[in-house]
Structure formats: C-alpha cells, structure tokens
Amino acid sequence: MDFIQEGFFQAVTLLRNRDPATYSAISVTLRASGMAMAVSLLLGLPLGYLLGYFDFRFKKQIRIVVDTLLSLPTVFIGLVVYALLTRNGPLGETGLLFTIPGIAVGQAILALPIVIALTATAVEASDRNLRITLMSLGANRFQIAKSTLWEVRLGLLAAAVTATGRVLTEVGISLMVGGNIKWHTRTITTAIALETSKGEFGMGIALGLVLLLIALTVNISLAGLRRRI
C-alpha cells in the first residue's frame, strides 16, 4: 500500500511544481475532450430532441441502434477512426491522424450516442401538456422545442455530465488515434497506461489522482450550474 501513498504525494508534487509533462498531458486531455463535447452537444441535443419528441417510422429501430452504441468499445472506435484517418484511408488527406483534433473526432463519436439517448429519454419524460399549452398560445416549432429543452434542462445537464465523464476517462481512442506522443498527443489516461506498463505505479497513481481532480472540478462546476438554473 506504500505506492498509493507515494502516488498521492507525487500528484501533489507534480501539480505544485508545474511538471511540464504532466501539464502537457492535462492540456491535451482538456483540449481534446472540450472539442469532442462541443461537437457532441451541438449535434446530440437536437437529434435527441427529435428522437424523443416526434413519432415516426423506424423510431424504435433507431432507438435500439442508439442504445446499442452506448456500450460501443473505445478500442473499436479507435480502430475505425484510425482506419479512416490513416494515409491510405478515405480521410487520410485531412492529416488528422496523431493529432488532438483526430482524438476529438473519436471522442465525439463516443459521446454522441450518450447525449442523444439521454436527451431523448429526458424529452420523452417531459410533460406532454406543455406542447398543447404552447400551441394554444401560438408558439411555433422553434419556440416549442426551446421551451421543451428548457423544461428538461436538468436531464440535459445529466447527459452532458455522463458524456464528459466517459470522454475524460477513455483510453483506446486516445492511444490508437493519438499515438501517445509525448508533448503532442499524450493524454492523462495514455500516460497512466504507459507509466503502469513501465512499473511506475506511483506515477500512474499520481496521474490518476490528477485525472480524478479534473473530473471532480468539472462535476463541481456543473453542480453549481445546476443550482443556478
């Protein structure tokens, strides 16, 4: 158990001394996850609203597909994105392989089904009388959608928290698409995997505690936002 205590003190030391490698991994992690969440929320919220609010043909089948994608392995996503972005792949000319935006693409694919599914669930659970009331007041489709999403805002926030947690802690996509290049695409999770494989358990635990601190900070921030809205 000594290595756990050692890891804790190493984590404090790394942060206090502004260790360049640690802060580089933190920067890459936040940049990649930030871009991924921006894309997944921008696409996932309206798609989730459409899936949860309207009844249409093949809705049940689409919902099954979305729910299935919730358990999509990160290594499989990494494999698919790598195949698309590699030099001989259909998107090889974009030059996104082994870059932070490339990691963000894979992480957005991971987060998108989570946002869609949880948004759809929140919208389905909303008060159906709200639509009738809004229509009687002369609201158009955009106003109805806006009011419905505001009504289920806590559910949307839960979707964002869940997706953010999944993105921050994934390893497969960052490792396969990013290549774990130091100072360039190495994230906290890939750094943990590397240090553990080298037998540096103390450093691995230190980085794990740093990741936990980031996740805690994000959740505290979102909790504060939840109280305000």
Each residue of 1-33: pLDDT tens digit? Answer: 566 777 777 777 877 888 888 889 889 999 999
Q: Cα angle vertex 202, ends 205, 172, to 5°?
A: 45
The per-residue pLDDT for range 84-106, each reduced to its tens digit, is 999 888 998 898 999 999 999 99
Q: Does the structural domain 29-190 have CATH classification 1.10.3720.10?
A: yes
Arithmetic mean of pLDDT, 35-53:
94
Q: How buried is 150 (Cβ within 10 angstroms: 0-12 exposed, 13-18 middle, 19+ buried)?
A: exposed
Between CA 188 and CA 169 the distance in angstroms is 9
The CA dihedral of 64, 164, 38, 118, to the nearest 10 degrees, is 30
pLDDT at 15: 76
Backbone angles phi, psi at 121, to 5 degrees: -65, -40
* Mean predicted lDDT score pLDDT of the chain: 87
> What's the pLDDT score for residue 203?
75
pLDDT confidence tier of residue 120, bands split at 50, 70 and 90:
very high
For residue 229, pLDDT over 70 is answered with no
* The pLDDT of residue 1: 58
- Residue 52 or 205, more confident: 52
User: What secondary structure letter does DSSP report for 138?
Assistant: T
Question: What is the pLDDT at residue 18?
Answer: 82
Q: Give CA angle at 172 (169, 177), nearest 5°.
A: 115
Higher pLDDT, 108 or 1: 108
How far apart CA 151 and CA 44 sit, in angstroms, is 17
Asked if residue 97 lies in contact with residue 85, where contact means CB atoms within 8 angstroms, the answer is yes
- The more confident residue out of 215 and 184 is 184
Residue 185: what pLDDT?
Answer: 93
Interatomic CA distance for residues 172 and 106, integer angstroms: 10
**Separation of alpha carbons 35 and 173, rounded Å:** 14
- Give the torsion through C-alpha atoms of 32, 169, 79, 28, to 10 deg: 30
pLDDT at 129: 74
> Domain boundaries in the chain?
29-190
Share of the chain above pLDDT 90, in %: 43
Tokens of 103: 């990691």
Closest Cα to residue 160, out of 38, 65, 3?
38
What percentage of the chain has pLDDT greater than the value 70?
A: 97
- pTM, two decimals, is 0.88
Across 118-146, b (16+ Cβ under 10 Å) vs e yields bbbbbbeebeeeeeeebeeeeeeeeebbe
Does 207 or 128 have the greater pLDDT score? Answer: 207
- Most confident range (mean pLDDT) of 67-76, 100-109, 127-136 is 100-109
